[in-house]
Chains A and B, each alone.
Chain A
Amino acid sequence: DAGVIQSPRHEVTEMGQEVTLRCKPISGHDYLFWYRQTMMRGLELLIYFNNNVPIDDSGMPEDRFSAKMPNASFSTLKIQPSEPRDSAVYFCASSSSQGTGELFFGEGSRLTVL
Protein backbone atom coordinates (compact mmCIF):
# COMPACT_ATOMS: atom_id res chain seq x y z
CA ASP A 1 0.00 0.00 0.00
CA ALA A 2 1.21 3.51 -0.76
CA GLY A 3 0.36 4.79 2.71
CA VAL A 4 -1.79 7.82 3.51
CA ILE A 5 -1.75 10.21 0.58
CA GLN A 6 -2.37 13.93 0.96
CA SER A 7 -2.64 16.72 -1.55
CA PRO A 8 -1.55 19.35 -2.13
CA ARG A 9 1.78 19.18 -0.33
CA HIS A 10 2.06 22.95 -0.32
CA GLU A 11 -0.60 25.62 -0.69
CA VAL A 12 -0.10 29.36 -0.67
CA THR A 13 -3.24 31.44 -0.80
CA GLU A 14 -4.53 34.86 0.07
CA MET A 15 -6.72 35.68 3.00
CA GLY A 16 -10.39 35.13 2.22
CA GLN A 17 -9.82 32.39 -0.33
CA GLU A 18 -11.24 28.89 -0.02
CA VAL A 19 -8.78 26.09 0.68
CA THR A 20 -9.46 22.39 0.15
CA LEU A 21 -7.10 19.74 1.42
CA ARG A 22 -7.47 16.13 0.34
CA CYS A 23 -6.65 12.78 1.88
CA LYS A 24 -6.69 9.17 0.77
CA PRO A 25 -6.37 6.80 3.75
CA ILE A 26 -4.75 3.40 3.70
CA SER A 27 -7.05 0.89 2.05
CA GLY A 28 -9.05 -1.05 4.62
CA HIS A 29 -8.61 1.47 7.42
CA ASP A 30 -11.88 2.46 9.02
CA TYR A 31 -10.66 5.47 11.00
CA LEU A 32 -9.50 8.75 9.49
CA PHE A 33 -8.13 11.70 11.41
CA TRP A 34 -7.33 15.31 10.53
CA TYR A 35 -4.63 17.01 12.61
CA ARG A 36 -3.08 20.46 12.53
CA GLN A 37 0.49 21.15 13.63
CA THR A 38 1.98 24.52 14.54
CA MET A 39 5.04 25.53 16.50
CA MET A 40 2.91 27.25 19.11
CA ARG A 41 0.23 24.60 19.68
CA GLY A 42 1.89 21.39 18.58
CA LEU A 43 -0.26 18.62 17.10
CA GLU A 44 -4.01 19.19 17.45
CA LEU A 45 -6.79 16.78 16.51
CA LEU A 46 -9.39 18.59 14.44
CA ILE A 47 -11.87 15.86 13.57
CA TYR A 48 -12.04 12.12 13.07
CA PHE A 49 -14.26 9.73 11.17
CA ASN A 50 -15.21 6.09 11.67
CA ASN A 51 -16.62 4.27 8.65
CA ASN A 52 -17.02 7.62 6.89
CA VAL A 53 -19.10 9.09 9.72
CA PRO A 54 -17.77 12.08 11.71
CA ILE A 55 -17.39 11.00 15.33
CA ASP A 56 -15.83 13.99 17.04
CA ASP A 57 -15.37 17.44 15.54
CA SER A 58 -14.79 19.24 18.82
CA GLY A 59 -11.30 20.21 17.67
CA MET A 60 -12.50 22.11 14.63
CA PRO A 61 -11.59 25.69 15.52
CA GLU A 62 -14.44 27.56 13.84
CA ASP A 63 -17.33 27.25 11.46
CA ARG A 64 -14.94 28.25 8.72
CA PHE A 65 -13.59 24.72 8.91
CA SER A 66 -15.51 21.75 7.54
CA ALA A 67 -14.60 18.15 6.72
CA LYS A 68 -16.27 15.45 4.71
CA MET A 69 -15.69 11.81 3.96
CA PRO A 70 -17.94 10.82 1.07
CA ASN A 71 -16.46 7.33 0.83
CA ALA A 72 -13.92 5.06 2.48
CA SER A 73 -11.07 6.20 0.25
CA PHE A 74 -11.39 9.97 0.28
CA SER A 75 -11.74 12.87 2.69
CA THR A 76 -11.52 16.64 2.41
CA LEU A 77 -10.83 19.42 4.86
CA LYS A 78 -12.11 22.78 3.72
CA ILE A 79 -11.39 26.24 5.09
CA GLN A 80 -13.63 29.03 3.86
CA PRO A 81 -12.71 31.84 4.16
CA SER A 82 -9.08 31.30 5.05
CA GLU A 83 -7.18 33.57 7.45
CA PRO A 84 -3.45 34.04 8.12
CA ARG A 85 -3.79 32.30 11.50
CA ASP A 86 -4.83 29.14 9.65
CA SER A 87 -1.27 28.81 8.37
CA ALA A 88 -0.02 25.42 9.57
CA VAL A 89 0.75 21.90 8.45
CA TYR A 90 -2.38 19.79 8.18
CA PHE A 91 -1.95 16.06 8.56
CA CYS A 92 -4.27 13.24 7.71
CA ALA A 93 -3.87 9.90 9.48
CA SER A 94 -5.66 6.57 9.37
CA SER A 95 -5.89 3.43 11.44
CA SER A 96 -7.78 0.17 11.59
CA SER A 97 -9.92 -1.04 14.47
CA GLN A 98 -9.05 -4.58 13.40
CA GLY A 99 -5.65 -5.03 14.95
CA THR A 100 -3.30 -2.96 17.05
CA GLY A 101 -4.78 0.41 16.16
CA GLU A 102 -1.44 1.66 14.86
CA LEU A 103 -1.76 5.18 13.50
CA PHE A 104 -0.27 6.06 10.10
CA PHE A 105 0.28 9.63 8.94
CA GLY A 106 0.47 11.25 5.55
CA GLU A 107 3.25 13.66 4.61
CA GLY A 108 1.06 16.66 5.39
CA SER A 109 -0.18 19.73 3.55
CA ARG A 110 1.67 22.93 4.40
CA LEU A 111 -0.75 25.85 4.17
CA THR A 112 0.36 29.46 4.06
CA VAL A 113 -2.33 32.14 4.09
CA LEU A 114 -1.04 35.59 3.20
Chain B
Amino acid sequence: KQEVTQIPAALSVPEGENLVLNCSFTDSAIYNLQWFRQDPGKGLTSLLLIQSSQREQTSGRLNASLDKSSGRSTLYIAASQPGDSATYLCAAHNTNAGKSTFGDGTTLTVKP
Protein backbone atom coordinates (compact mmCIF):
# COMPACT_ATOMS: atom_id res chain seq x y z
CA LYS B 1 0.00 0.00 0.00
CA GLN B 2 1.43 3.37 -1.01
CA GLU B 3 2.06 5.86 1.76
CA VAL B 4 3.02 9.47 1.15
CA THR B 5 4.57 11.67 3.82
CA GLN B 6 5.24 15.39 3.76
CA ILE B 7 7.54 16.92 6.32
CA PRO B 8 7.39 19.48 7.82
CA ALA B 9 3.67 20.00 8.29
CA ALA B 10 4.23 23.76 8.46
CA LEU B 11 7.01 26.10 7.41
CA SER B 12 7.46 29.82 7.90
CA VAL B 13 10.12 31.77 5.98
CA PRO B 14 10.95 35.43 5.30
CA GLU B 15 10.22 36.83 1.87
CA GLY B 16 12.97 36.26 -0.68
CA GLU B 17 14.23 33.03 0.79
CA ASN B 18 14.66 29.93 -1.32
CA LEU B 19 12.99 26.86 0.16
CA VAL B 20 12.46 23.15 -0.35
CA LEU B 21 9.35 21.13 0.41
CA ASN B 22 9.72 17.38 0.83
CA CYS B 23 7.55 14.46 -0.21
CA SER B 24 8.38 10.81 0.53
CA PHE B 25 6.62 7.74 -0.83
CA THR B 26 6.98 4.08 0.06
CA ASP B 27 6.21 2.34 -3.25
CA SER B 28 8.67 3.34 -5.96
CA ALA B 29 6.52 1.80 -8.70
CA ILE B 30 4.81 5.09 -9.38
CA TYR B 31 3.58 6.28 -12.76
CA ASN B 32 4.02 9.94 -11.98
CA LEU B 33 4.06 12.40 -9.09
CA GLN B 34 2.07 15.60 -8.95
CA TRP B 35 2.43 18.71 -6.82
CA PHE B 36 -0.58 20.85 -5.93
CA ARG B 37 -1.20 24.14 -4.24
CA GLN B 38 -4.28 24.77 -2.11
CA ASP B 39 -5.32 28.21 -0.91
CA PRO B 40 -7.73 28.46 2.04
CA GLY B 41 -11.29 27.65 0.98
CA LYS B 42 -10.20 26.74 -2.52
CA GLY B 43 -9.61 23.63 -4.57
CA LEU B 44 -6.30 22.01 -5.42
CA THR B 45 -4.41 23.67 -8.24
CA SER B 46 -1.95 21.55 -10.17
CA LEU B 47 1.57 23.00 -10.12
CA LEU B 48 3.82 20.39 -11.66
CA LEU B 49 3.64 16.78 -12.73
CA ILE B 50 6.74 14.63 -13.04
CA GLN B 51 6.48 11.43 -15.01
CA SER B 52 8.35 8.39 -13.72
CA SER B 53 10.84 8.61 -16.58
CA GLN B 54 11.71 12.20 -15.69
CA ARG B 55 13.90 13.56 -12.95
CA GLU B 56 12.60 17.09 -12.76
CA GLN B 57 10.14 19.65 -14.04
CA THR B 58 10.30 23.43 -13.91
CA SER B 59 7.68 26.13 -14.07
CA GLY B 60 8.78 29.67 -13.36
CA ARG B 61 10.20 29.86 -9.84
CA LEU B 62 9.17 26.27 -9.12
CA ASN B 63 11.29 23.21 -9.68
CA ALA B 64 10.17 19.71 -8.76
CA SER B 65 12.50 16.72 -8.68
CA LEU B 66 11.84 13.01 -8.48
CA ASP B 67 14.13 10.27 -7.20
CA LYS B 68 12.25 6.99 -7.42
CA SER B 69 15.08 4.92 -5.99
CA SER B 70 15.02 6.83 -2.73
CA GLY B 71 11.27 7.40 -2.77
CA ARG B 72 11.55 11.15 -2.65
CA SER B 73 10.33 14.22 -4.45
CA THR B 74 11.16 17.83 -3.63
CA LEU B 75 9.52 21.10 -4.62
CA TYR B 76 11.97 23.97 -4.76
CA ILE B 77 10.58 27.50 -4.60
CA ALA B 78 13.01 30.25 -5.51
CA ALA B 79 12.81 33.79 -4.18
CA SER B 80 9.68 33.16 -2.15
CA GLN B 81 6.91 35.78 -2.05
CA PRO B 82 3.99 36.34 0.35
CA GLY B 83 1.69 35.18 -2.46
CA ASP B 84 3.31 31.77 -2.26
CA SER B 85 1.69 31.25 1.14
CA ALA B 86 -0.57 28.21 0.80
CA THR B 87 -0.69 24.50 1.52
CA TYR B 88 1.33 22.37 -0.86
CA LEU B 89 0.36 18.74 -1.41
CA CYS B 90 2.05 15.99 -3.34
CA ALA B 91 0.29 12.97 -4.82
CA ALA B 92 1.75 9.71 -6.08
CA HIS B 93 -0.11 8.21 -9.01
CA ASN B 94 0.51 4.50 -9.33
CA THR B 95 -1.02 4.25 -12.77
CA ASN B 96 -1.79 6.81 -15.48
CA ALA B 97 -5.24 7.07 -13.95
CA GLY B 98 -7.10 5.51 -11.08
CA LYS B 99 -6.17 5.80 -7.43
CA SER B 100 -3.69 8.34 -6.19
CA THR B 101 -2.15 8.68 -2.75
CA PHE B 102 -1.88 12.14 -1.25
CA GLY B 103 0.35 13.49 1.47
CA ASP B 104 -1.13 15.62 4.24
CA GLY B 105 0.54 18.72 2.87
CA THR B 106 2.97 21.38 4.04
CA THR B 107 1.48 24.74 4.98
CA LEU B 108 3.86 27.48 3.89
CA THR B 109 3.82 31.01 5.25
CA VAL B 110 6.03 33.61 3.59
CA LYS B 111 6.38 36.71 5.77
CA PRO B 112 6.85 40.13 4.14
- In this assembly, does A106 line the interface, its C-beta being within 8 Å of a C-beta of chain B? yes
Are B96 and A100 closer than 8 Å at their CB atoms?
yes
CB 8 Å contact bits of A26-64 with B (1 = contact, 0 = none): 000011000000000011010010100001100000000
Interface residues of B in 68-112 (CB under 8 A from A): 89, 91, 93, 95-100, 102, 104-105
Are B104 and A106 closer than 8 Å at their CB atoms?
no
A97 and B97 contact, Cβ closer than 8 Å, known pairs A43-B89, A102-B49, A105-B44: yes
Are B46 and A102 closer than 8 Å at their CB atoms?
yes
CB 8 Å contact bits of B38-62 with A (1 = contact, 0 = none): 0001111110010100000000000
Chain A interface extent, by class = 20 to 34
Are B97 and A31 closer than 8 Å at their CB atoms?
yes
- In this assembly, does A99 line the interface, its C-beta being within 8 Å of a C-beta of chain B? yes
Partner of A101, one of B32, B43, B45: B32
Please give, as numbers and ranges, the residues of chain A lying within 8 Å of B63 by CB-CB distance. Answer: none
Partner of B42, one of A31, A104, A107: A107
- Chain B residue with the shortest CB-CB distance to A42: B104
- In this assembly, does A13 line the interface, its C-beta being within 8 Å of a C-beta of chain B? no
Please give, as numbers and ranges, the residues of chain B lying within 8 Å of A76 by CB-CB distance. Answer: none
| Bound-complex Cα distance A42 to B105 (A) | 9
Please give, as numbers and ranges, the residues of chain A lying within 8 Å of B97 by CB-CB distance. Answer: 30-31, 50, 95-97, 101
- Chain B residue with the shortest CB-CB distance to A9: B41
CB distance from A93 to the nearest CB of B (A): 8
5 closest Cβ contacts across the A-B interface?
Answer: A101-B96, A105-B44, A97-B97, A107-B43, A105-B43
What is the interface of chain B, defined by CB distance below 8 A to chain A? 31-32, 34, 36, 41-46, 49, 51, 89, 91, 93, 95-100, 102, 104-105
What is the interface of chain A, defined by CB distance below 8 A to chain B? 4, 30-31, 42-43, 45, 48, 50, 55-56, 91, 93, 95-97, 99-108, 110
